[in-house]
Amino acid sequence: MSFELLMLAAADGFSYAGLLFLVSLGLTLIFGVQGILNVAHGSLYAFGGYTAATLAIWAAEKQAPTWVLLAALVLAALVVGVILGGILEIGLLRRVQDKDPVLQLLVTFAAFLIFEDLQRLIWGVSPYSSTEVVSRLGNFDIFGITYTAYQLLLIPAVAFGVYLGLLFALRRTRLGKQIIAVTHHREVATALGINARKIGLIAFIMGAFLGALGGALAAPTTSLVPGVGTDMIVLSFSVVATAGLGQITGALITALLIGLARSVAVYTVPELEVAVPYLIMVAVLLVRPNGLFTVAQARRI
Amino acid sequence: MKGNHVKSLHARLGALVAGMSLLFAAPALAQGAKPAELKLGITTFSSGPASVFGVPAKAAAEQWIEEFNAAGGINGVKITPVFIDEGLGGDKLLTEYRRVVQEQGVKVMLSAISSGNCNIVAPVAEDLKVLNVMWDCGTEKLLEDRRYKYVVRTQANAVTEMVATVVYLLKTKPDFKTIAVVNQDYAWGRDSWEIFRNTLQALKPDVKVVAELFPKFGAPDFSTEISRLQALKPDVILSTSWGGDLDTFVRQAGQRGLMKSSLFVLPLAESSAERLGAALPEGVIIGARGDHYFLHPELKDEPKHKAFVEKFRARTRSYPIYPVYHMVAALQAVADGHNKAIKANKGQWPSTEQVAGAMHGLEFKGLTRAVKIREDGQGLEDQLLGMTRNRAGYAFPVMENMMIVPADLVTTPVGQKSPEWVKTLKPDVLKSDRIKVYAK
């Protein structure tokens, strides 16, 4: 494999990793704070995508400028994150907070199925898409291969921006420190005067927003179809499991690893493409059963 | 237990057993008596990715049956459809299939869209002695591996479709050197490529296959595949994908200029054209798994076809796509098969066995060209392909330079196996004067 091909594969892997990271980040954030593996995260991705496509189609019909189209994507993710995330947390997850993890998993799975049907009710079964913003941002060439600026620049930039923003927020802001405290030990955090319930809600909505943002950013390049959330939840789960649950930087590195490995596979052994994320996951978990980046847990007793 | 068996049971086993058999066979009527209604089971996708086919097809079935019943039904017997969702998966589908046949007294099944589901239901139909019309699935192996009495197909199979596509490609662009394929990673994607490749090798052995890519079924992104194809620069890119996968692939390939540098051959893209709109560029070879098209070069103005298209558009706000035509064809075949069997039965209502017999050898006409069902149950359906062009009055590209390839020219003969047969194809097939080319 020549250097040129490796660069091309890297470029493709980058953009793929960007979306994957955003969705995984949301999933891992929610797990970190709430201790719940939220299967309905896939629905947030799907709803974010559909809502963004609906808004973007409408904006494109009105001949809106490019920045409005981009803002529509983020707005869609915000709306979905706050409304659906809020409903999920307050209506459901809060109520199973102290229950068996298997029950929590089943509850979120049930929510996922309900959302899937809702989505079919609202948007139907035909593939749905709005590509206007991609053509507006234009193309450029690397080694004679044409890329869209949207996929190769915008998505990775947003993903990295979100990563840095989140790191900053968690380390430097009062709210972020509270989130970390709740993540480490809910009861101790409560005893210190932190409103763990409120922090849980905020963190959940942030995670939901990230899931929806992944869908919203995917909407202009992909076709939204029934079941679009299923694939994403499985894949982002493999990222989160490989990285170690609750690991933010780990999720970034793992998403990049999977994105790159996947595109290298398409260039060299295309038959392996589908299996690559799971092969990486299995390989990592065999050696480090708690994930690549899990740090030693403080003993609680 | 079917009606025509009742008499022999009477004779052989006496009144008691006959009484019991009548009890069990309550919905089955004695031969000749006209039923109150003909219950027709239809399996179609209402959920999952293939609902892009299933939902329009269901709308078509409802529209057609409504009109057909209003016009008197089959000899006065009205058709009552019972729909089953194929998206439930094989096991659940089979349970539902048995339930409607054994408990609701369904005598005729239209099943299925998915080849996997056809493989599941065909042997069961044969066991249950219920007429099963395969109305959309493409697998050619099913009717080649075994002779069925109760299973027929009212449309072409994958071989007819793929060979016709190769014929169109070689007639419109005879001088290409390299080809790449991007198909969905499941039975249809793999099988259709195998047929296509073998046919191409028989008709034009000097073509080099530069990439065989099988992205995951339902893949949301083809960026890497597209980069690789741009690096390889094949003359022709084939994709037999459909639904969201095809939409995404076409959109991303278009966005990145790949469709300018390679000739795209998309045999199922007629079903995506209206959705894709301007994202589907001009000069792409597209097909429709049959000779179905609302702008059919011979039949677009035929009153029956035209009226159907207009009514369908009014109901669904979309142009009919190929599964709509397949559905209408299957329903028409069921109606014609019954009428043929009634005639042969001297005006009496026929048994399922008699109808199944009548279906073999039946020639019927849905909305486009007539289809003949061969003795092995396989329908001979002509194939229409064309090249996309923008035309005033349509918000999406339509087919021009259309060509209709007669089915018998490109279908494996009865009794032969397709994998071997396609290898025996000769380039002479391209010169056949029976292939009709339309200027517009």
pLDDT in tens, B228-281: 999 999 999 999 999 999 999 999 999 999 999 999 999 999 999 999 999 999
Considering only alpha carbons, which residue of chain A is nearest residue B259? A146
Q: What per-residue confidence (pLDDT) applies to B28?
A: 45
Considering only alpha carbons, which residue of chain A is nearest residue B318? A126
Longest dimension (CA), chain B: 79
Planar angle of CA A225, B383, B334, nearest 5 degrees: 80
Whether the pLDDT of residue B10 is over 60: the answer is: no
Partner A contacted by B304 (CB < 8 A): no
Nearest alpha-carbon partner for B243 in B214, B276, B211, B215: B276
For domain B31-156+303-377, is the CATH number 3.30.420.10? no
Size of interface A-B (CB pairs under 8 A): 116
Whether the pLDDT of residue B1 is over 70: the answer is: no
Please give the Cα distance from A287 to B115 (Å, whole number).
Answer: 41
Is the C-alpha dihedral spanning B162, B164, B167, B168 positive or negative?
negative
Q: What per-residue confidence (pLDDT) applies to B404?
A: 97
Q: In degrees rounded to 5, what are phi and psi of residue B439?
A: -65, -45
CB contact under 8 A, A221 and B221: yes
Side chain identity at B87, as an amino acid letter?
A: G
The mean pLDDT value for B348-374 works out to: 96
Longest dimension (CA), chain A: 62
Q: What per-residue confidence (pLDDT) applies to B427?
A: 94
Side chain identity at A163, as an amino acid letter?
A: Y
Nearest alpha-carbon partner for A166 in A44, A249, A273, A228: A249
Higher-confidence position of B313 and A135: B313
Considering only alpha carbons, which residue of chain B is nearest residue A222? B248
Partner A contacted by B86 (CB < 8 A): no
Q: What per-residue confidence (pLDDT) applies to B32?
A: 66
Q: In this predicted model, what pLDDT tens digit does every residue of B279-310 receive, in sequence order?
A: 999 999 999 999 999 999 999 999 999 999 99
pTM, two decimal places: 0.87
Q: What per-residue confidence (pLDDT) applies to B6?
A: 45
Tokens of A134: 């991609």
Q: What per-residue confidence (pLDDT) applies to A78?
A: 97
Please give the Cα distance from A246 to A66 (Å, whole number).
Answer: 35
Whether the pLDDT of residue B17 is over 70: the answer is: no
Tokens of B54: 């299933």
CB contact under 8 A, A221 and B228: no
SS (H, E, C) B168-206: HHHHHCCCCCEEEEECCCCHHHHHHHHHHHHHHHHHCCC
Tokens 């620069």, residue located: B233
Q: What per-residue confidence (pLDDT) applies to A266?
A: 86
Q: Which of A125, A135, A151, A268 should we substitute to test contact with B (largest number of B Cβ atoms within 10 Å)? A: A125
CATH class of B159-288+382-437: alpha beta
SS (H, E, C) chain B: CCHHHHHHHHHHHHHHHHHHHHHHCCCCCCCECCCCEEEEEEEECCCCCCHHHHHHHHHHHHHHHHHHHHCCCECCEEEEEEEEEHHHCHHHHHHHHHHHHHCCCCCEEECCCCHHHHHHHHHHHHHHCCEEEECCCCCCHHHHHCCCCCEEECCCCHHHHHHHHHHHHHHHCCCCCEEEEECCCCHHHHHHHHHHHHHHHHHCCCCEEEEEECCCCCCCCCHHHHHHHHHHCCCEEECCCCHHHHHHHHHHHHHCCHHHHCEEEECCHHHCHHHHHHHCCCCCEEECCCCCCCCCCCCCCCHHHHHHHHHHHHHHCCCCCHHHHHHHHHHHHHHHHHHHHHHHCCCCECCHHHHHHHHCCCEECCCCCCEEECCCCCEECCEEEEEEECCCCCCCCEEEEEEEECHHHCCCCCCCCHHHHHHCCCHHHHHCCCCEECCC
CB contact under 8 A, A263 and B251: no
Q: Where in chain B is the domain with CATH 3.40.50.2300?
A: 31-156+303-377, 159-288+382-437
**Domain extent listing, chain A:** 3-287
Cβ partners under 8 Å of residue B16, min gap 6 = none
CATH class of A3-287: mainly alpha
The mean pLDDT value for B2-13 works out to: 47
Q: What per-residue confidence (pLDDT) applies to A298?
A: 55
User: In chain A, positions 11-30, which contact chain B (CB-CB < 8 Å)?
Assistant: 11-13, 15-16, 19
What are the E-state strand segments in A94-232?
139-142, 145-148
Written as tens digits, the pLDDT of chain A (301 aa) is 578 778 888 888 988 899 999 999 999 999 888 888 899 999 999 999 999 999 999 998 888 899 999 999 999 999 999 999 999 999 999 898 888 989 999 999 999 999 998 998 999 888 888 888 998 999 988 888 899 999 999 999 999 999 999 999 999 999 999 998 988 888 899 999 999 999 999 999 999 999 999 999 999 999 898 888 888 899 899 999 999 888 889 999 999 999 999 889 888 888 888 888 899 999 999 998 888 887 666 554 5
The mean pLDDT value for B326-350 works out to: 96
Q: What per-residue confidence (pLDDT) applies to B375?
A: 95
Higher-confidence position of B58 and A130: B58
**What is the rounded average pLDDT for all residues in chain B?**
91
